Amino acid sequence: MTKSPLIIWCNNHFPEKAPNEHAMLSEAIGEHRLLSFEPTQNGSAGESRQALNEADIAFGSPDPEALMRAPKLRWVHINSAGYTRYDRDDFRRHLLERSIVLTNSSAVYDEPCAQHLLAMILSLARQLPVALGVQRESRTWPMETIRANSRLLNEQTVLIFGFGAIARRLVELLTPLRMNLIGVRREVKGDESVRVISESEADDFLPFADHLVNILPDNESTKQFVNTERLKRTKRGAYFYNIGRGSTVDQDALLESLQSAHLAAAYLDVTDPEPLPPEHPLWRAPNCYITPHTAGGHADEKERQVRHFLDNFRRFTSGESLINRIM
């Protein structure tokens, strides 16, 4: 249990429309000291760097290089679910050697991301984007065509790449639809709520999946994981969804799969690069629907970020296990 006051370094972004969240954070930490900086001040130079060197805790999106030079640091809590920039061997070694804990904010983003995926899976099955296109363009009444192409999700197979917090929540949301849900992860733990297979087995399931959900993070092992070979193995008429990272998909191969109608449709919340340039062919690809990396967004996002940190802060000062621990 922590008794002496702690120094908390924070560069979490608090926009003008969310002043109460910063005040809530300042008030809730009590006797402990909060040092606040803008996100651009990541601890690599100047006043922010000096403050990070004095900090016991870092909250926000600190620079990993600066973290490795901070002598007093005991815990780092990042304000995102993704942690690609921290997923490095040297950084892991440093945390292990110094007994520094790293946590992320998966608990903030699993619900909105899972709901976002559910919304797109349902909307494509029920032909809502097609109907919206008709309303905005021809304003005709293609009732028979849309009804004939609408699908029930019952008994359809969903293959989910990346079985973390978002996938687990998505499984809970899809279960009432009586779908065949299969997760894919590097190491099968055996305590999953649905069938989970290893990445080495996944290719054998591609020809049978009606929906491919990609929630893979960005690292060396996942770059262009969804490639030409895997897309060709995919069941003709399948739907593809990506809320992981754009780098995990060979976008040229995806474009070809859409243009040839091998895939029925694709939904992308992430691309490579971001923002996707206006001239990029994916914008005009048939049955390709793009949202600008908004899957995790929600009106009370900042409040939930702060509450998640404060929950972990209470645990940290009480000597309890932290939520969403990565390292």
Q: Which CATH number fits the domain that encloses residue 209?
A: 3.40.50.720
Asked whether residue 238 carries a pLDDT value surpassing 80, the answer given is yes
Residue 282 and residue 279: Cα distance in Å, rounded?
A: 9
Asked whether residue 315 carries a pLDDT value surpassing 90, the answer given is yes
Average pLDDT, stretch 4-15? 93
Six-digit token string for 318: 């009480």
Secondary structure of residue 161 in the 3-state scheme: strand
Six-digit token string for 220: 């060396």
Give the per-residue pLDDT at 4. Answer: 87
Q: 115 and 100, same structural domain?
A: no
Backbone CA torsion sign across 101, 164, 64, 77: negative
Total domain count for the chain?
Answer: 2
Query: Which of 256-261's residues contact partners 24+ apart within 8 Å by CB, and which partners?
Result: 256/228, 256/231, 257/231, 257/232, 258/285, 258/286, 258/287, 258/288, 259/285, 259/286, 261/286
- Any idea how long the chain is? 327
pLDDT tens digits for range 35-53: 999 988 888 888 999 999 9
* 202 within domain boundaries: yes
Query: Which of 69-73's residues contact partners 24+ apart within 8 Å by CB, and which partners?
Result: 70/43, 72/7, 73/98, 73/100
Print the domain residue range for 219: 109-290
* 196 within domain boundaries: yes
* 324 within domain boundaries: no
Q: How confident is the model at residue 152 (pLDDT cuts 50, 70, 90)?
A: very high
* 326 within domain boundaries: no
Residue type, 92: R
Q: 172 and 48, same structural domain?
A: no
Q: 270 and 155, same structural domain?
A: yes
**DSSP secondary structure of 82-96:** --GGG--HHHHHHHH
Q: 127 and 97, same structural domain?
A: no
Prediction pTM value: 0.94
Q: 80 and 58, same structural domain?
A: yes
